[in-house]
Structure 1
């Protein structure tokens, strides 16, 4: 294809959504992917495919879900636009762009239905977002109830099939090095000494999380040591290209999505075979200690959907940038097999608290005291219930606000964790249609952005599933105008 109308730069979920929407309008679309074919898919490939969307409960969701015998004994609470907005407001401290946030929330259900009609297939996240009751029924929690079939790899495989059916030309091994301009408008892209003219360009090449120098510069010293969870190709090139032609910065450049991440597996960066299985999100069921044997977070502050993306940063700040998630024989069976029974990773196991401390290499006296004080401070008058914020607290410092359960039944288990960075929150500034804005707030003609390249939605923290949803909604809107 020599004369595309639209060039989409970046082959993750957001980029493909923009490409699909443009192609549906009869636009001639070329999608340029920086990575070689074997490493394509952006950060989206490394996800679970979790999606946060407005819905009216199970009957509403059945319109997009694949059949499952468990549906008949499943309760899925509705998730309203009001709740979605409140969750985003709460976890970001109100620092997100309000118009952009409202556009993502309001467009979430329609975007998922649109993609379902194009060919994406969805399921309830039984293993991750539901608890099974004694009678065999299931109760969902946390707001992010749906994922696509087969996680990130499945998501990207279907996106590629949809794009081929719609006539989108995909080119791999094509790093974009600059933007072509004419009188202030963007009229194409540069790839080294090659140029590809187009009426519109959509930037969807992620943030700068894989650029260690930028991480240190914008996130702070120490961030150069964080483990890159996803693609190694998101190095901020497209953000830089947009800034060079006058685009404004958008969002929070000083914070990011970072999570508790396996610290012991040798290949714990950009692992396409294990993708998200190196995550360690079971900490609300146990305690987390540093090398001094001391707790340093409220493991039960909220459902892990609303805390996991900020706790990677706190782990990075601990001695050696390492911590240990600790469970006993009662809590260990409740952990997700997807994460905690991952092949090639074995926990530290011991028959006493003292032996566990030695095996972890933490301060023995400090750890023993931590466990003793924690166990004795639990409000046992409240029943333990992982499906709600049960108020079963441990009155220690820091407090554990919910799901406090004594660490007292051997054997004991410890999982070493570090900071895994997912994506950065800062990018270019844009409007609700993905139009990139200059420093005076005016749209740059012919230039759009979506996905992690577009800043403004998140700050400090992030609710599970909101990233893929944002890419779907704003990617679709950008493609509908490009």
Structure 2
């Protein structure tokens, strides 16, 4: 007979992991395989089983990795036939490219030490996860455009998982189950327990109205940030952030961050209004947690080939300043800063042809249409547009600027896989706020708009770790013995923005290191007990 949850919590373990997302699962897999005999690993999560998987479940399952092109990618993916290989343009994404993007989009503030580990071990981690059954796919659907009969990949983010985040968590959970790790849900970790020397030796866990002290010489916290707590968002990110929609799990409320701080853990990273990943998100989505069926489909990332206007009828970002992978995580903040925390994405007939069905099909989003820009503006007045005249004027000025650029550069043409230079800026006309690339005119009816708000994914501020073993550090730089950290709880990597897909990769890299170090510490503890 299998032990009851109460029996599981009453017995000692070698490694205790808090969380059930991708970083926690990577930590468990790593711990199990790191020593012989393998450690006894218990993974606990306060979420019910129906909400297993943390934020990873709600993602597109995309991992950013350095690679040398198809020679590195083809051996790990399962969705490319021999006939397709000759039609794929996939440039190498070098160690320097990855580090350069990380430094560029974070304004040079990302920890170079953490970045070295993240980038240097990214491909190795992808291969390791493949060995544990993760079904990698080449990301035709999200990261390539078909241009003149060829699949042209862009933005350095080329790997995904079959079925996205759902598939990622399914594959990793099955691997953890096969490994012998024990998982228990509806078990809330509330306090870290230490011995007389200050080393973590267990966790206080609440389940079914009872409190248990679960003993383990190694604890790994992978419990996410505080993005699901409106109060903590307001505290750490500032006023207004309490209004954002929670994109993923509603259970990431900062419990383990608070528990670590009680032990004197050092915080690092972006604890400011720029300190989170937030995206353009369906304004009609659930506010306090994601949808387990639709998951990432509430993302609305088609703005590079259209326009975004606020409730005053004005543009507020350069929609084409960079490839989508380097802007989507910060444009959610820009939307939240607009009147009412909303915006409208718009396209004409041609622009609509580039929208991804998973995000913009009729079943997933409320669409507003008009046979003219004036009619579209009137319809948007029912959705919160305050100044239809300004809206029409903004679009007219944009179209005039696009036409002037085309007249001056008649050979320029659209290529959504690169920064193509199709813009609103010419010697004749320059908008105060440029659209720097992919500036398609909005002239062909019918016109389409969708209403978006800000969807917060995870917070950037977190705990300081030693990247060698993912041990949590104190303010003086010393390690809190027995405590490791991986996933979104790690601070110092991202500031203001992040390169798409690097968060999941970081969870894998540091989860793998945390699991290894935790298992080795547990083995040393067992040896000491035998002496």
Name the TM-score, length of structure 1 as normaliser. 0.98
Which residue of 2 is the match for residue 194 of structure 1? 212
Query: Alignment partner for residue 449 of structure 1, among 481, 485, 495?
Result: 485
SS at match of 1:284: helix
Which residue of 2 is the match for residue 77 of structure 1? 91
Which residue of 2 is the match for residue 373 of structure 1? 397
Contact 1:265 1:344 in 2 (8 A): no
Deviation at 1:265, TM superposition (A): 4.1
**1:54-69, aligned counterparts within 5 Å?**
54-69=66-81
Deviation at 1:67, TM superposition (A): 3.9
**1:102-117, aligned counterparts within 5 Å?**
102-117=116-131
Which moved further from structure 2: 150-159 or 232-241?
Answer: 150-159
Contact 1:283 1:299 in 2 (8 A): yes
SS at match of 2:75: coil
Contact 1:13 1:468 in 2 (8 A): yes
Which moved further from structure 2: 398-407 or 335-344?
Answer: 335-344
SS at match of 1:176: strand
Superposed CA offset, 1:253-282 (max 9, x none): 111000000013467841111000000001
Query: Alignment partner for residue 350 of structure 2, among 324, 330, 347?
Result: 330
2:443 is the alignment partner of 1:400:
no
Unmatched segments (≥5 aa) in structure 1: none
Deviation at 1:103, TM superposition (A): 0.4
2:417 is the alignment partner of 1:387:
yes
Which residue of 2 is the match for residue 439 of structure 1? 475
Query: Alignment partner for residue 302 of structure 1, among 322, 326, 336?
Result: 322
2:191 is the alignment partner of 1:178:
yes
Contact 2:359 2:365 in 1 (8 A): no
- Are residues 13 and 265 of structure 1, via their aligned partners in 2, closer, same or farther at CA, if it must alter by over 3 Å? closer
Query: Alignment partner for residue 321 of structure 1, among 341, 345, 370?
Result: 341
Whole-angstrom distance in 1 between the partners of 2:71 and 2:450: 39
Which residue of 2 is the match for residue 53 of structure 1? 65
SS at match of 1:38: helix
**1:418-437, aligned counterparts within 5 Å?**
418-432=453-467, 433-437=469-473
Deviation at 1:345, TM superposition (A): 2.1
Whole-angstrom distance in 2 between the partners of 1:30 and 1:409: 58
Contact 1:262 1:268 in 2 (8 A): no
Deviation at 1:71, TM superposition (A): 3.1
Superposed CA offset, 1:58-88 (max 9, x none): 1211110104233341111111010000000
Contact 2:246 2:287 in 1 (8 A): no
SS at match of 2:456: strand
Unmatched segments (≥5 aa) in structure 2: 1-7, 426-430, 519-531
Query: Alignment partner for residue 447 of structure 2, among 394, 412, 431?
Result: 412
Which residue of 2 is the match for residue 18 of structure 1? 27
Superposed CA offset, 1:352-379 (max 9, x none): 1111011011212211111111111122
Aligned residues: 481
Whole-angstrom distance in 2 between the partners of 1:127 and 1:397: 34
Answer with 1 or 2: which has the greater Rg. Answer: 2
SS at match of 1:331: helix
Superposed CA offset, 1:103-160 (max 9, x none): 000000000101101111100111111011232x211000000111111111111111
Whole-angstrom distance in 1 between the partners of 2:327 and 2:507: 21
Which moved further from structure 2: 468-477 or 124-133?
Answer: 124-133
Which residue of 2 is the match for residue 288 of structure 1? 308
Whole-angstrom distance in 1 between the partners of 2:221 and 2:288: 28
Contact 1:436 1:449 in 2 (8 A): yes
Which residue of 2 is the match for residue 124 of structure 1? 138
**1:259-270, aligned counterparts within 5 Å?**
259-265=279-285, 269-270=289-290
Which residue of 1 is the match for residue 526 of structure 2? none
Contact 2:228 2:289 in 1 (8 A): no
Whole-angstrom distance in 1 between the partners of 2:59 and 2:143: 15
**1:207-226, aligned counterparts within 5 Å?**
207-226=225-244
Whole-angstrom distance in 2 between the partners of 1:300 and 1:269: 29
**1:460-471, aligned counterparts within 5 Å?**
460-471=496-507
Whole-angstrom distance in 1 between the partners of 2:491 and 2:172: 23
